[in-house]
Amino acid sequence: MSEKTSWDWETELKEIPFNEWKTHFNWVQAPQVSQNGESIAAVVNLDEMVFSVCVNGQVWEEEYEKIWSLTSVSDSGFAAFVARDEEWTLSVNGQEWTHWCDFIWQMMKSLDGQFLGAAFQTDSEYGVIVNDTPWEDRYENLTGAVMAADGTSAAVVQVVPMPGADVEAFKKGVFSVACNGVPEDRRFLNIWDISFDTAGRQMGYGVRTDRESYGIVQNDTLWKNRFESVWKPEFLDENSLLAPVRINGKWQLYKNDAPFWQNKYDQLWHLTLSPDGKDVAAIVSAPYGRWRVAVNDTVWHVAWDTMISDIYFSQDGSSLAAVYKHKDVWDLAVNQTPWQMAADMVFVPCLSQDGSVVAVVIQKKGQYQLVVNKKTMASGFSFMADPVISADGSKVLLKGIENGIYKRRIIRV
């Protein structure tokens, strides 16, 4: 999305008759919208076991037995997993990768759209493929694949064979982390939640070292402390790894194997760092069953009874938005202020770079609405993709379907 300054922010409305596609194909699956809103795409059925992708009314040249995971990539493109003669690959804008496999899943994309990756399986051996280059080493099991911004990939892999129901073999540790296909030496009972630093050079992850001991691995080194449990670690910078850890039934934030936050919580997860690295936020439960946002170990004064699903910083770190559920309805709060939308669902909010504008799609009674800074800007849509705010914060890009017509609309804030 780094190029969004080059997008068309002037044309107030562009329309594509989406529902009309249903008259051209046997059926049309759920739509996907490109990041810049210029294109809408869907998997379409042409005949029995014959599928393709329709983008703005134009169908990809190639036809497939199956297509799934259609996703927007880069500013205006789409990628999908496609199958022909029972073999799978990834197709980007209709161009197939050269490598085909027995199955492919978990599409991963870098923010700048330069790298596309996925997990794959061929002849019951598992690996990761990035930009059409598969790992050389394959494994009998693979979970939790991740990809860094520079295309470095990693996953949890099984490096020692284990007969069925062999709990003794499991106790010895048969799993390791493979980075770009190369396994690390150390093995564990479990490995979860691999994190990269921003440069893609450092790795951190959670492990279980025996039946009841959990730890954190930071750049191939296991922290000395053991915990009752751990959640996903995040790099504060290349030398500092943060991780929520459980001690005596309470959760605390550790940094480099030492307490970082002093408070202990009944839950602490979803570590989120401001882009400038100055602030650390997390979703916490304090007291038990009450959900709050904590920023630098200080909790928001507002608390909710059901759930906070995710939190987002603005680029400058000045604003923090939380999607939450309270008393059976969903809402958004920005800098501790609830918007009181009483929605059936709140999607992923978009924050302007300076944090002054927040736009979000919500659902109420089956219809989609766009809300900007608490004000409903559009409603009555049958579908909306997440909005985008222009670089200068003056306009919001709405991408939605109204009365069967896809609309790309620019709304001035």
| Closest distance of CB 108 from other proteins, Å | 12
> Which of 35, 267 has the CB closer to other proteins?
267
**Distance between CA atoms of 369 and 362, rounded to whole angstroms?**
5
Q: Are strands 103-109 and 388-389 parallel, antiparallel or unpaired?
A: unpaired
Choose, by CB under 8 A, the member of 61, 111, 211, 327 that binds other proteins. Answer: 211
Sequential DSSP letters for 126-140: EEEEETTEE-SS-BS
> Which of 15, 105 has the CB closer to other proteins?
105
> Which of 260, 269 has the CB closer to other proteins?
269
Asked if residue 176 binds other proteins (CB under 8 A), the reply is no
Asked if residue 309 binds other proteins (CB under 8 A), the reply is yes
| Closest distance of CB 238 from other proteins, Å | 28
Answer whether 154's CB lies under 8 Å from 164's CB: no
Answer whether 365's CB lies under 8 Å from 380's CB: no
Choose, by CB under 8 A, the member of 363, 367, 373, 379 that binds other proteins. Answer: 363
What is the SS3 assignment for 148? coil
Which of positions 125-164 make contact with other proteins (CB under 8 A)?
Answer: 126, 141-143, 164
Asked if residue 380 binds other proteins (CB under 8 A), the reply is no
Residue 216 tokens read as 């954190």
Asked if residue 8 binds other proteins (CB under 8 A), the reply is no
Choose, by CB under 8 A, the member of 166, 220, 238, 354 that binds other proteins. Answer: 166
What is the SS3 assignment for 71? strand
CA neighbours within 13 Å on the CB side: how many for 236? 15
> Which of 69, 240 has the CB closer to other proteins?
69
Rg of the chain in Å (alpha carbons):
23
> Which of 60, 231 has the CB closer to other proteins?
231
> Which of 170, 260 has the CB closer to other proteins?
170
**Which is nearest to 324 in space by CA: 360, 353, 365?**
360
Q: Which residues bind other proteins (CB under 8 A)?
A: 26-27, 29-30, 45, 48-49, 66, 68-69, 102-103, 105-106, 119, 121, 126, 141-143, 164-168, 170-171, 175, 189-190, 192, 208, 211-212, 214, 228-229, 246, 248-249, 266-267, 269, 285, 288-289, 291, 305-307, 309-310, 325, 344-345, 347, 363
